[in-house]
A = this chain, B = another copy of it.
Amino acid sequence: MGQAGAQTVTKWVYAFGGGSADGDAGMRDLLGGKGANLAEMSALGLPVPPGFTLSTEVCTAYYDNDRAYPDGLDQQVADALKELEAKSDKKFGDPANPLLVSVRSGARASMPGMMDTVLNLGLNDETAEGLANLSGDRRFALDSYRRFIQMFSDVVLGVKHEHLEALMEDYKEENDLVADTDLSADDWAEIINLYKAEVRKRLGRDFPTDPNEQLWAAISAVFKSWMNDRAITYRNLHDIPAEWGTAVNVQAMVFGNMGEDSATGVAFTRNPSTGERKLYGEFLINAQGEDVVAGIRTPQSLTKEAREERKDNSPSLEEAMPETYKELLAVFDQLERHYRDMQDIEFTVEKSRLWMLQTRNGKRTAKAAFKIAVDMAREELISQDEAVLRVDPGQLDQLLHPTLDPDGPRDLLSKGLPASPGAAVGEVVFSSEDAQKISREGRPVILVRPVTTPEDIHGMHVSQAIVTSQGGMTSHAAVVARGMGTPCVCGAGDIRIDVKAGVFKAAGREVKAGEIITVDGATGEVFLGEVAMIEPELTGDFAILMAWADEARRLGVRANAETPSDVRTAKSFGAEGIGLCRTEHMFFDAERISKMREMILSKDEAGRRAALDKLLPFQRADFEEIFTIMEDRPCTIRLLDPPLHEFLPHTEEDVAEVAEATGLPRDALMQRASELHEENPMLGHRGCRLAITYPEIYEMQARAIFEAQAAVQKATGVMPLVEIMIPLVGFASELALLRSKIDAVAAALSKETGFSPEYLVGTMIELPRAAVRADEIATHADFFSFGTNDLTQTTLGLSRDDSARFMSAYVDGGLIERDPFQTLDKSGVGDLIRLAAARGRTVKSGLKLGICGEHGGDPSSVDFCDEVGLDYVSCSPYRLPIARLSAAQASLRARK
């Protein structure tokens, strides 16, 4: 594989930039992800800063050959460097016009643990002065130089950055300087000398000044980092073969801070908040890219229209650099046509010359995603099916939840930038740690920070909304929040945050951690207290795209619901049936639970039957209501599932209260609760096991269902489609026995009243044993519904209630990709589902299969359900549109 022979010359180095490239996006295996993308942009003729890629084959050859480079590599790099100098009009190591480069690793798959980036390589005392002259900013040049020494020393020379940073801190202290911005050019020059002395002391040799020596040292550092411990561990965990190797990208640096004819900016080809087809972005004159993103200087608009809307006085790019603006517009058009999607772009203008640093599909809000998809389909840029595939179902959540009621009373605290739409209410927290802690207790939180950094990601994930006092629409907080679909207000400058004191001041008030605020990300407003919400309207682009999705999907979509209000919501959100009606939820109402307790305290079957007789009318009425709403759509009713102790009070106080309220004897309550106590209730006396010991419970429920069916059929003329579901079956014998008892109830009713109930009897598959013995179980079942919540708990031996405390160590450590309670563990739990579906259908080819765990509303899990041939998914009502869209995408992908 690419070993250089004596005769054939292997190509090790691939150039890009200057309107052409040796590679393209398809050469990912050879050039790595980053190299292939740079080649692709160059090949499009875009003004990409030129450079070259050392292929992954170099890495492989290096390790195959006992860490020696293949013959000819030297020369190819030298040639590529020469070409790069020509394309960039600069010279490597030339103080008059120095070419500086970045060196980056780039494997096939993005992989942490490896050496990442060295910037500004090529700087030394002479070229730094050259950069100072060219930029007219000696401080910038020396700051860049000291940063380069720090970075290079750390990742290439192995002198840990702490050592150099300590020197800088000492220097600052000695000279009464606080922030980095307090340091002058001369200060940086001093520090550079201190750095160089320290490197000499630690390594016994000088910091390399020869750019070529710097370049080869950096290249070698990348290749060596492929075999460092962290990278090896990561590859082991993710089954990435060591033979893949990494590529190395060397690219010319360009600078947006070379004077008033230089600039840097970011742009979206369409509005990422609303989806409107309008250029959207920001830039800064004479600035570096990080200045825009960091949110320290307030950036200017790209277009005159946007500037006027924002009532901003600083000129827009359209006004300040009309030629560059036109060039940029042309590039944007080209990019949208090429990538056929909205682009998120970084660009730099160096001395009036435009450079494209990066383009990628832009993140957008759900609303924007619908608009862009529908618009692009209408523009015939993409097909209707592609439009359906363009919206990320995971994002839909934000569209499907309430927004602020415009008529609700409100108490404005502050107004910032509308960085990510949506409304939310929650407790104020000032740190990501508090956000995680309080949200784990089930309380909604709103993270309030001066700015956010990548360290805040976990806290942002669990927050209902994010508020920052600094930063713009493309600040870290804004970009990340839009991606997550979390409401966000940025740059709310009149909010003064004292993180340490746990308080912020705004509009003359003090708001403490723990107080409730409301955030409207669509307007940028922050209110004190809770503001009323209204239901979302699901019309317009949303309705159009969902209709296209419904045309495309194969999977049916049902809802998990039992209250009439949820059942109605489910119907309005497109539920084609009820997939899981949890009957125990009907027993917790005050009047009912006392009868339930009476049943549990009964000493014998007769006593239990008497109590159940009192519960029957309630259940029957519930079912009548559900059947009436759902009309001719099927309703899957799960019989009693939780252990009986869930219905009893447990603490002495609760027992006393219940005894008082119900007249049930206190001692009996206490004793029964203690009798029923279980070490592992998840694996205890519940589900169908209750009915094996107390068959009268399911008999009552079956009767209530059948009597309701009779009543609704009589009242409406529509025969309700009833599917009775037995939970926690592990043995075919359980289902056989309970089915016969349900049949007996139906037969008795038919004898008594002449009404013959029509129904299916099926089972949850939620135990590994049920999955394995699905063939036997299928002989007694009309349908299976995979209860993936419990199936995940049992297959993984993982309690949902108890796993939070160590699950983050698994996700953060890369041991698992995603929380298996949110996204189905396809290779573990999924394998059992696949097995059960196959074994069940071996016995009954037409066996109806569904899923009713919460995974039924998770896009990647729905995809899996489609793949293994389930008939429907069932999820909570608010997630129905997610399920519908996910199902459509699964069908479309499967067709490809």
Residues of A within 8 A of B (CB): 233, 236-237, 678-685, 689, 692-693, 728, 730-731, 733-734, 736-737, 740, 766-769, 772-773, 776, 790, 793-799, 801-803, 805-806, 809-810, 813-816, 825, 827-829, 831-832
Contacts and interface: CB of A to CB of B under 8 A. Distances in A.
B685 A730 contact: no
A799 B683 contact: yes
Contacts of A828: 730-731, 768-769, 772-773
B799 A797 contact: no
B832 A692 contact: no
A236 B741 CA distance: 13
A79 to B, nearest CB: 42
Contacts of A681: 679-680, 802
A790 B796 CA distance: 11
5 contacts: A680-B680, A683-B793, A689-B806, A692-B813, A790-B797
Contacts of A685: 802-803, 805-806
The quantity of this chain's copies bound in the complex is: 2
A221 to B, nearest CB: 23
Contact of A693 (B684, B728, B730, B806): B806
Contacts of A236: 733, 736-737, 740
Question: Quick one: which of A766, A773, A776, A797 has the most chain B CB within 10 A?
Answer: A797
Given A237-B733, A683-B802, 6 more contacts: A680-B680, A684-B799, A692-B809, A730-B798, A767-B796, A768-B796
Contacts of A683: 680, 682-683, 793-794, 797-799, 802-803
B795 A768 contact: yes
A804 to B, nearest CB: 10
Contact of A682 (B680, B768, B769, B810): B680
Question: Quick one: which of A681, A736, A802, A805 has the most chain B CB within 10 A?
Answer: A802
Contacts of A832: 768, 772
Contacts of A731: 815-816, 828
A733 to B, nearest CB: 4
B816 A233 contact: no
Contacts of A773: 827-828, 831
A136 to B, nearest CB: 51
A795 B796 contact: no
Nearest to A798: B683
Contacts of A802: 678-681, 683-685
A677 B685 CA distance: 21
Cβ-closest 4 pairs across A and B: A683-B799, A768-B768, A769-B828, A680-B799
A736 B237 contact: yes
Contacts of A801: 678-680
Contacts of A233: 736-737, 740
Given A730-B828, A736-B237, A740-B236, A796 B769 contact: yes
A679 B679 CA distance: 8
Contacts of A816: 731, 733
Contacts of A682: 679-680, 682-683, 797, 799
Nearest to A804: B685
Contacts of A766: 797
A648 to B, nearest CB: 15
Question: Quick one: which of A689, A692, A768 has the most chain B CB within 10 A?
Answer: A768
A730 B797 contact: yes
A683 to B, nearest CB: 4
Contact of A803 (B684, B793, B796): B684
Nearest to A810: B692
A208 B801 CA distance: 69
B237 A797 contact: no
Contacts of A815: 692, 731, 733-734, 737
Given A233-B737, A813-B737, A796 B679 contact: no
A675 to B, nearest CB: 8
A678 B799 contact: yes
Contacts of A740: 233, 236
Nearest to A238: B733
A877 to B, nearest CB: 27
A241 to B, nearest CB: 12
Contact of A769 (B678, B772, B776, B829): B829
Contacts of A793: 680, 683
A596 B767 CA distance: 35
A747 to B, nearest CB: 12
A683 B810 CA distance: 16
Nearest to A805: B685
A790 B795 CA distance: 11
Contacts of A678: 799, 801-802
A794 B829 CA distance: 13
A798 B678 CA distance: 11
A799 B810 CA distance: 26
B692 A806 contact: yes
Contacts of A805: 685
A772 B829 CA distance: 9
Contacts of A684: 799, 802-803
Contacts of A733: 236-237, 814-816
Given A733-B237, A772-B832, A809-B692, A797 B794 contact: yes
A825 B776 CA distance: 15
Nearest to A744: B229
A106 to B, nearest CB: 25
A766 B796 CA distance: 10
Contacts of A806: 685, 689, 692-693
Contacts of A796: 730, 767-769
A797 B769 contact: yes
Contacts of A829: 769
Nearest to A687: B797
A679 B682 CA distance: 8
A601 B434 CA distance: 22
A679 B793 CA distance: 13
A837 to B, nearest CB: 14
Contacts of A776: 827
Nearest to A728: B797
A789 to B, nearest CB: 12
A796 to B, nearest CB: 5
Contacts of A768: 768, 794-797, 828, 832
A797 B737 contact: no
Nearest to A237: B733
A772 B776 CA distance: 20
A440 to B, nearest CB: 12
A183 B767 CA distance: 60
Contacts of A803: 683-685
A567 to B, nearest CB: 29
Contact of A767 (B737, B790, B795): B795
A233 B735 CA distance: 12
Contacts of A827: 772-773, 776
B769 A795 contact: yes
A737 B799 CA distance: 22
Contacts of A831: 772-773
A207 B355 CA distance: 111
Question: Quick one: which of A769, A793, A813 has the most chain B CB within 10 A?
Answer: A769
A865 B816 CA distance: 32
A685 B815 CA distance: 15
Question: Quick one: which of A733, A766, A813 has the most chain B CB within 10 A?
Answer: A733
Contacts of A692: 806, 809-810, 813, 815
Contacts of A680: 680-683, 793, 799, 801-802
